[in-house]
Amino acid sequence: MKFRIAIAADHAGFRIKEAVKKHLTDAGYEAQDFGTHSVEMMDYPDAAHPAVRAILKGECDRGILICGTGLGMQLVANHYAGIRATLCWNTEMAELARRHNDANVLTMPGRFIDADSAIAITDMWLKAPFDGGRHARRVGKIERDI
């Protein structure tokens, strides 16, 4: 079974979403696209909520969300227990988001990175493993009081 990635963006992330989606598909991943489907202005939560819910329902394995800053998408995703969304704007951040935070959602700032950078960030985020150990203890404490 292919690794399933929920991908979504608002108008400010649309073009990068399209480039990342094509890259994922070419690389053999299953990219499930939750919109948006044009550069027409829309509200980022309307694309983020269904993408995140697909992960929580087990219909997707991880998620990639892109808006202008990546911040709005990160806020929506982290609204859900079980989601660890991290904003990454370079490959070093993406590697640490996986190795230390076991991030299951990647958010990226469409207005501040180009498509090549987004693809490099995505590749790193998909290949870097979770280090576990002390990081598992820390990740386990994130939702302790919920």
Which of 35, 45, 50, 68 lies at the binding interface for ligand RB5 (CB under 6 A)?
Answer: 68
Q: At what angle do helices 115-127 and 91-99 cross, to 10 degrees?
A: 20
Residue 67 catalytic? Answer: yes
Binding mask 33-62 for ligand RB5 (x = CB under 6 A): -----------x------------------
Given a contact cutoff of 8 angstroms between Cβ atoms, the answer to whether 9 and 16 are in contact is yes
Alpha helices for the chain (secondary structure H)? 14-26, 44-56, 71-77, 91-99, 115-127, 134-142
Per annotation, catalytic residue among 67, 79, 88, 135: 67
- Does position 12 bind ligand RB5 by CB under 6 A? yes
Q: How far is the CB of 89 from ligand RB5 (least distance, A)?
A: 13
Q: At what angle do helices 115-127 and 14-26 cross, to 10 degrees?
A: 50
Strand partners, 64: 7, 106
Helices (H) and strands (E) in the chain, counts: 6, 5
Q: How far is the CB of 96 from ligand RB5 (least distance, A)?
A: 22
Of 27 and 71, CB closest to ligand RB5: 71
- Does position 10 bind ligand RB5 by CB under 6 A? yes
Residues that bind ligand RB5 (CB under 6 A): 10, 12, 44, 67-69, 71-72
